[in-house]
Structure 1
């Protein structure tokens, strides 16, 4: 396992997460602001322009994205 520095994913729970109804299911989604930040950081990363703080932020957001993907998949599977 590789250890990486990241911003704690829980730091976005209050302000970066929304629950959206999709086909009568409540699923976790990023707010428009957090999604825009993810897109911005991903683009900078693609171009090799991230500084260390931005890399830690991107790593944290991507971890939160993986967590919500798993949770949403379970919600869908159990419906």
Structure 2
């Protein structure tokens, strides 16, 4: 593991996070302000214009985004509308798969 400087993701929790209803449950999202800042930093990163402090900020926001993606996926998996197995999506669909074998020349 490589050590790196980053703003702690918890720093953004108080002012940069909101809950948003999604179906029958809530997910974690960035506020509009934090999302805009994230996009600004990503743009500067693409142009290789980040300062050391901005790099630490971008790394912290990116880590928080990964955490939210994981948590939100767990919440979605627990929701009644979201099947936990992909096979459940196709229970009533006809089997359209095909197996093709190519004879070998002997």
TM-score computed with the length of structure 2 as normaliser: 0.73
Identify unmatched segments of 5+ residues in structure 2.
80-106
Give every structure 1 segment of 4 or more consecutive aligned residues whose post-TM-superposition deviation is greater than 4 Å.
none
Distance 1:20 1:32 in 2: 12
Give the number of the structure whose alpha-carbon radius of gyration is greater: 2
Mapping of 1:1-79 within 5 angstroms?
1-79=1-79
Identify unmatched segments of 5+ residues in structure 1.
none
How far apart are residue 66 of structure 1 and its match? 0.3
How far apart are residue 42 of structure 1 and its match? 0.2
Q: Describe the SS at the equivalent of 2:10.
A: helix
**Residues 23-77 of structure 1: CA deviation (Å, up to 9, x unaligned):** 1220000000000000000000000000000000000000000000000000000
Greater RCO (CA < 8 Å, at least 6 residues apart): 1
Q: Which has the higher helix share?
A: 1
TM-score computed with the length of structure 1 as normaliser: 0.98
